[in-house]
Amino acid sequence: MSIEMEMERITLEQLPEMMVDVCHKLDRIEKAIASITNAEPEEELITISEASKFLKLAQSTIYGKACKREIPVIKKGKRLYFEKKELLKWVKSGNRETSSELFDKASDYINKFSKPKYGR
């Protein structure tokens, strides 16, 4: 049945009730959309086996790093959990500078301290 045909059958007495129903449905749709868009998948907790696959490291290596507090970990009882977001941040923190970046930093440092104190 088309919408036009259904609209013809609606009476003025039915309209307020239908509008309330439509508003409730819209509220549910908005909440569903908000829960989907606000969810951050990087915040999910993962197990050591999932962390191993994500980082491409052996589980024993991850256990060792967790024991030495070299890697962000959440310990609950005997289990270890990891946040993907934190693991990604941890991996990125190990970013090494290129030779040219190191050269530029060294040059800036030397220039900073080699300037004469008095204008000549």
Whether the per-residue pLDDT at 55 is higher than 80: the answer is: yes
Question: What does the pLDDT read at residue 56?
Answer: 95
CA 69 to chain CA centroid, nearest Å: 22
Identify the weakest region by mean pLDDT among 28-42, 50-64, 90-104: 28-42
CB atoms near residue 68 (< 10 Å) = 8
Which tops the pLDDT comparison, 95 or 84?
84
Radius of gyration of the chain (CA): 30
Would you kindly state where each structural domain of the chain is located, as residue ranges?
A: 45-93
Whether the per-residue pLDDT at 98 is higher than 70: the answer is: yes
Q: Which amino acid is at 40?
A: E
- Rounded (10°) angle between helices 48-55 and 84-93: 40
Q: Between the ranges 7-21, 23-37, 53-67, where is the mean pLDDT highest?
A: 53-67
Identify the weakest region by mean pLDDT among 10-14, 17-21, 98-102: 10-14
Which tops the pLDDT comparison, 119 or 101?
101
Whether the per-residue pLDDT at 57 is higher than 60: the answer is: yes
Which tops the pLDDT comparison, 21 or 8?
21
